[in-house]
Chain A
Amino acid sequence: MGYTLVFSDLLPYWDVLLHGLIFTIVLTIVSTIAGIALGTAGASARAFGPKWLDLLVGAYVEIIRNTPFIVQLFFIFFGLPAAGIKLSETVAAFLAMTINLGAYSTEIIRAGIQAVPKGHIEAGESLAMSRMQVLRYVVLKQAFQKIYPALSSQIVIVMLGSAVVSQISAEDLTYAANYIQSRNFRAFEVYLVVTLLYLLLAIAARAILRGIGRWAFPKA
Chain B
Amino acid sequence: MSDFSFWVILSNLLLATRWTILLSLIAFVSGGIVALILLFARVSGRPWLERLTRWYIEFFQGTPLLMQLFLFFFGVALFGVDVDPWIAAWLALTFWTSAFLTDIWRGCVEAIPKGQWEASDTLALSYVEQMRYVILPQAARIAIAPTVGFSVQVIKGTALASIIGFVDLTKAGTMLNNATFRPFLVYSLVALIYFALCFPLSWYAHRLERQLHAAR
User: How distant is the Cα of A194 from the Cα of B186 in the complex, in angstroms?
Assistant: 32
In the complex with contacts A79-B184, A174-B66, A70-B170 CB distance below 8 A:
yes
B residues in contact with A156, CB < 8 Å: 62
Grouping DSSP codes into helix (H, G, I), strand (E, B) and loop, the B interface class, with mixed when no group exceeds half, is helix
User: How distant is the Cα of A187 from the Cα of B75 in the complex, in angstroms?
Assistant: 8
User: Cβ of A2 and Cβ of B80 under 8 Å apart?
Assistant: yes
Complex partner residue of A202 from B62, B184, B198, CB under 8 angstroms = B62
**Which B180-216 residues have a C-beta within 8 angstroms of A?**
182-184, 186-188, 190-191, 194-195, 198-199, 202
User: How distant is the Cα of A166 from the Cα of B164 in the complex, in angstroms?
Assistant: 13
A residues in contact with B71, CB < 8 Å: 188, 191-192, 195
B residues in contact with A2, CB < 8 Å: 80
- Whether B59 sits at the interface, judged by CB under 8 Å, is yes
User: Cβ of B74 and Cβ of A82 under 8 Å apart?
Assistant: no
B: interface residue count bin: 35 or more
Minimum distance in angstroms from A157 CB to a CB of chain B: 9
Q: Which of A69, A71, A167 has the most CB of B within 10 A?
A: A71
Minimum distance in angstroms from B110 CB to a CB of chain A: 16
User: Cβ of A195 and Cβ of B68 under 8 Å apart?
Assistant: yes
Chain A residue, CB-CB nearest to B192: A67
User: How distant is the Cα of A68 from the Cα of B171 in the complex, in angstroms?
Assistant: 13
A residues in contact with B187, CB < 8 Å: 71, 74-75, 78-79
- Whether B9 sits at the interface, judged by CB under 8 Å, is no
Minimum distance in angstroms from A106 CB to a CB of chain B: 15
A residues in contact with B78, CB < 8 Å: 1, 3, 188
User: Cβ of A66 and Cβ of B199 under 8 Å apart?
Assistant: yes
**Which B159-189 residues have a C-beta within 8 angstroms of A?**
159-160, 162-163, 170, 173-174, 177, 182-184, 186-188
Chain A residue, CB-CB nearest to B201: A66
User: How distant is the Cα of A163 from the Cα of B64 in the complex, in angstroms?
Assistant: 7
**Which A163-181 residues have a C-beta within 8 angstroms of B?**
163-164, 166-167, 174, 177, 181
In the complex with contacts A78-B187, A83-B184, A163-B64, A199-B74 CB distance below 8 A:
no
A residues in contact with B77, CB < 8 Å: 187-188
In the complex with contacts A75-B188, A191-B74, A68-B194 CB distance below 8 A:
yes
Complex partner residue of A160 from B63, B74, B182, B202, CB under 8 angstroms = B63
Minimum distance in angstroms from B200 CB to a CB of chain A: 9
In the complex with contacts A71-B191, A199-B59, A66-B198 CB distance below 8 A:
yes
Chain A residue, CB-CB nearest to B75: A188
